[in-house]
Amino acid sequence: MGPNAVAIIPGAGLVRRSADTDYPFRQDSDFWYLTGFNHPDATAVFSTTPGRPPFTLFVQPRDRTAETWTGIRPGVEGAQTEFGADAADDCSRLIESIPELLTDAHRLFHSFGRDPKLDVGIQAVQEDRRLHSRRGGAPIDETVDPRATLHEMRLFKTEPELALMREAASITCEAHQAAAREAAPNRNEYEIEALLDYVFRRRGGAGAAYGSIVAGGPNAAILHYITNDQPLRQGDLLLIDAGCEYEGYASDVTRTYPVGGRFEGPTRAVYQAVLDAQQAALDAVRPGATLPEIHDAALRKLVEGMVALELLDGRMDDLIEQQAYTPYYMHSTSHWLGLDVHDVGRYAVDGKPRPLEAGMVFTIEPGLYIAKDDASAPEALRGIGVRIEDDIAITQDGYENLTEAIPKTVEAVENWMA
Ligand code: GLY
Ligand code: MN
Ligand code: MN
């Protein structure tokens, strides 16, 4: 932060679901990363101005009635004894405390545009300092968005963070196994979703890290299908994109299972084409490689597969150049993964894709989707959708596939389901 700097980092509040019920609380990822404090309406203030506590937490105070209804709060005292704050105060005093918090500050870390009350409080202090500068109050010279630094930190996972991501992956593996075993005709997509949720929670996860996609047959071609309310049919594929959130960290895994346990008819060849593309992408992973290189490796293999399946016809380079594949593959192959499923961190530096470095975690998730009403596709292939997604951590000399334990070859998937 440098000397004489103050950072103000607000946490999440409760969000109204309907009438007088709220959505389950989920802490803001930046706030969670910095504090490990998992209660609503808190704000962290970090300070390097002389004589100020380095770490102050503003929190909901103890309140017997409120705690009887909604649960125990650490309160002002707990913020210090349990969460390591040097000072703590009632969150209702945050705005009135801003002038004092900013005393002697020359640089302020704050993300404007997220919390209007806080923005107004800070701007009022700035304006006041400017007007009274003759009496010695200097306005803050520099306001910096803390996310630039913070998100770069979050991009590089430390060993304890990787341990949490491995646990999220391990729970996800068990959940996929429970789901795969039940992927039988006449089961409904929501039954499969319920099994995933059950395992996520049973093993101490917070639940799904994002809306689970449980897409039977042609629903697999709807990329973010989360309705999950249709019956499964023998011989169809079932695309499950679901990962557990554990201690705030997401896993993000897709497998595509044959309903009934065996890949039938053309589903096998489509599945194999995606698996080959995913392997080509994995073969391109190393420190120093870039995500666009990995995407290109997957794409070339996938387009080869599309030609073999007679979805496309023409010269490889032309098909890629003309993006002829977009009706069947319309998303990118990778995204950062961490506290958020589509995690923070810059994808490019100085206008160029950044080289991968140890500690970065991302997905590899090629897919092939043939809409059921796509008249230009061979009829037998219509309504087939496949995606295969793993979570990859870059190491000093290669990579670790965090989700390797979840089977994906045709044979391994069929054995697992049996
Ligand atoms: N589940 C969202 C994604 O794979 O990016
Ligand atoms: Mn996914
Ligand atoms: Mn993903």
Q: What CATH number is associated with residue 104?
A: 3.40.350.10
Q: Please, which residues have CB less than 5 A from ligand 2, an ion?
A: 241, 252, 389
User: Are 52 and 173 part of one and the same domain?
Assistant: no
Predicted confidence (pLDDT) at residue 136 exceeds the cutoff of 80 = no
Give residue 130's pLDDT: 86
Question: Angle between the 410-417 and 159-181 helix axes, to the nearest 10 degrees?
Answer: 70
Q: Over pLDDT 70: what percentage of the chain? A: 100
Do residues 55 and 86 lie in contact, with contact meaning Cβ atoms separated by under 8 Å? yes
Q: Do 88 and 226 fall into the same domain?
A: no
pLDDT at 137 over 80: no
The pLDDT value recorded for residue 273 is: 98
- The two tokens of residue 322 are 């003309």
State whether 130 and 160 are in the same domain: no
Domain match, 166 and 213 both: yes
pLDDT > 90? residue 82:
yes
Phi, psi of 253 (to 5 degrees): -130, 130
**Range of weakest confidence among 102-106, 135-139, 265-269:** 135-139
At residue 139 the predicted structure's pLDDT band, cuts being 50, 70 and 90, is confident
Low-confidence winner among 123-137, 299-313, 324-338, 352-366 (lowest mean pLDDT):
123-137
| 394-411 per-position pLDDT tens digit | 999 999 999 999 999 999
Contacts 24+ apart (CB under 8 A), 372-375: 372/217, 372/218, 372/221, 374/327
Say if residue 77 is in the same domain as residue 169: no
Are 306 and 180 part of one and the same domain?
yes
Copy the structure tokens of residue 103.
């005393």
User: How many structural domains comprise the chain?
Assistant: 2
Owning domain of residue 206: 156-417
| Domain match, 220 and 300 both | yes
Is 70 buried (19+), middle (13-18) or exposed (0-12) by CB count in 10 A?
middle
Per-residue pLDDT reduced to its tens digit, 86-122: 999 999 999 999 999 999 999 999 999 999 999 999 9
Give yes or no: residues 113 and 261 share one domain.
no
226 lines ligand 1 (CB under 6 A): no
Q: Which two tokens stand for residue 413?
A: 């998937």
Specify whether 389 is located in the same domain as 248: yes
Sign of the CA dihedral with 276 first, then 280, 281, and 287 last: positive
State which H helix or E strand residue 152 sits in. helix 147-155
User: Do 296 and 166 belong together in one domain?
Assistant: yes
pLDDT reading at 6 higher than 80: yes
Q: What angle do CA 116, 120, 121 make, to 5 degrees?
A: 115
Boundary residue ending a domain (109, 130, 152): 152
Same domain, yes or no, for 230 and 139?
Answer: no
Separation of alpha carbons 263 and 304, rounded Å? 21
Residue numbers annotated as active site: 20, 224, 241, 252, 331, 335, 342, 365, 369, 387, 389
Assign 63 a pLDDT band (cuts: 50, 70, 90).
very high
| Banded model confidence at residue 281, pLDDT cuts 50, 70, 90 | very high
Report pLDDT for 354. Answer: 97
Tell me which of 132, 152, 172 is where a domain ends.
Answer: 152
Share of the chain above pLDDT 90, in %: 96
- pLDDT number for residue 11: 98
**What was the pLDDT predicted at 12?**
97
Question: By alpha-carbon position, which residue is closest to atom 4 of ligand 1?
Answer: 252
Region 2-9 average pLDDT = 97
Last residue of a domain, one of 108, 123, 152: 152
The CATH number of residue 360's host domain is: 3.90.230.10
- Say if residue 219's pLDDT is above 90: yes
pLDDT for residue 292 is more than 80: yes
**Whose CA is closest to atom 5 on ligand 1?**
342
pLDDT of residue 135: 73
- Provide the mean pLDDT of the chain: 97
Secondary structure class of 114 (helix, strand, coil): coil
Tell me the average pLDDT across 330-341.
Answer: 98
pLDDT at 133 over 80: no
| Exposure string over 240-250, b if 16+ CB within 10 A, otherwise e | bbbbbbbbbbb
Of all ligands present, the nearest one to the C-alpha of 226 is: 1
Q: How far apart are CA 164 and CA 245, in angstroms?
A: 9
Over residues 22-33, mean pLDDT? 97
145 and 231 assigned to the same domain: no
- What is the number of helices (H) and of strands (E) in the chain? 12, 21
- Over residues 168-197, mean pLDDT: 97
Instruction: Say whether pLDDT at 75 is over 90.
Output: yes
Residue 141 above 90 pLDDT? no
Type of residue at 208: A
Give the residue ranges of DSSP H helices in 2-82: 29-35, 64-70, 75-81
Q: Ligand 3 centre from 386 Cα, in Å? A: 14
pLDDT at 210 over 80: yes
Ligand 1, residue 210: give the atom nearest the CA: 1
Amino acid making up residue 47:
S
pLDDT at 255 over 80: yes
CB 22, CB 14: distance < 8 Å = yes
Torsion angles phi and psi, residue 200, rounded to 5: -55, -45
pTM given for the model: 0.96
